[in-house]
Structure 1
Amino acid sequence: MRKVNRKKDSRPVLEISRTYEDWFLDAASLIGLILLVSCLIYYWPLLPNTIPTHFGFSGQPDDWGGKSTVIILPVTAVLLYILLSAVSYFPHTYNYPWAITEKNARAQYLLARSLLGWMKAEIIWLFLYLTWITILIALGQKDSLGPASIFIFLGVIFGTVGIYFLLSARAQ
């Protein structure tokens, strides 16, 4: 027999219409995705057979591979876009840091959906940046990501999650 999680089963299932923020984040994500794929298609014939595939903490490339490896980020971005877009319609199934009640469900669901939208947009634009820099390094026009890149990436992602937890705690 399978154990059923009664807490998730008892959560209200609400139909929440999409907000302007949802539309904006979807548009920003889709624009980033189009730019990412377009950038790769445009530069593909110009890329050498060996390109950077990994960057160290300093931002310097520390591993190299075949040019087909640059396809990994756009493919991952497309899959993440599809997955996160689909999952955003089922906020009652997410894991939350606090109990979901009739009183706080709407606010918590909106905040969680917003978090997914922001993360989707940020990750796609991060992948666009990484693909762009990888191409520039492969073409000899740049030598590294830059030492601050990792801190900026982590700051944006953790900052977004931190803001979510703060707003979610207030909405309990």
Structure 2
Amino acid sequence: MYDVKKMKQFDVPFTPMERLYTRLTLLIWGVLVIYIAMVWQKIPIEIPLHYNALGELDSTGSKWTMLTIPIVTYCFWSLMNFMMKHPEWGNYPARLNEQNAEAFYTHNRKLIVVLRNGGSLFFAFVLAEMVFVSLGIMASQGITTYATLLSIFVILPLAIGVVQSRKIQ
């Protein structure tokens, strides 16, 4: 077993695609936050918060409840950044050794970037939908849309990442 205490630090630069994905995610969040700030006074005091599997409203609450989504997203983003800075804390297979550690850590970092941004985009969609529904701009998209987006942004990249990690010798 590879001793992580003796691990040397690997300085692997971010790929252009990782940088682009991160910048696009931050841009989308920036635009969303600015939009919400601009329409905040128009958002009703009480907004729809939750729908059941049939798309029927089953919970409402204060518009201030929407602020929990950016807070949760920020905490999620921070945790993922922390995990990128400490790849040695990841859960790796027993075949991790000095020869393949850099490959595993690089792969781990790339996977975290995809999951961090994908999860953040998913949260952005949830927040945007809350705002648009409460303003009457659109109807709730329902469970199918959420499941699809979660699959595209989180589950599929995670599955692909696991398969790719098995190829590391």
Which TM-score tier does this pair reach, normalised by the shorter chain?
A: 0.7 to 0.9
Q: TM-score, normalised by structure 1?
A: 0.84
Specify which of 159, 164, 167 is matched with residue 167 of structure 1: 164
Match of 2:109 in 1: 113
Q: Are residue 122 (structure 1) and residue 118 (structure 2) matched?
A: yes
Paired residues for 1:41-120 under 5 Å: 41-120=37-116
Change (3 A) 1:59 1:161: farther
Which 10-residue stretch deviates more, 96-105 or 126-135? 96-105
Change (3 A) 1:98 1:22: farther
Paired residues for 1:146-161 under 5 Å: 146-156=142-152, 157-161=154-158
Change (3 A) 1:14 1:140: same
Q: 1:169 corresponds to which letter in structure 2?
A: R
Instruction: Provide the identity percentage.
Output: 21
Runs of 4+ in 1 over 6 A off after TM superposition: none
Specify which of 139, 143, 148 is matched with residue 143 of structure 1: 139
- Consecutive unaligned residues of structure 2, counting only runs of 5 or more, are none
CA contact (8 A) 2:51 2:142 kept: no
Q: 2:157 corresponds to which letter in structure 1?
A: T
Which 10-residue stretch deviates more, 43-52 or 143-152? 143-152
SS in 1 for 2:85: coil
Q: How many residues in Structure 1 have an aligned counterpart in Structure 2? A: 168
Q: Offset of 1:11 from its aligned partner? A: 4.3
The CA RMSD over aligned residues, in Å, is 2.2
Q: TM-score, normalised by structure 2?
A: 0.85
Change (3 A) 1:22 1:141: closer
The CA distance in 2 between the partners of 1:80 and 1:149, in whole Å, is 22
Give per-residue Cα distances to partners, 1:37-78, cap 9 Å, x unaligned.
223212211110111222323444321101100111112222
CA contact (8 A) 1:33 1:77 kept: no
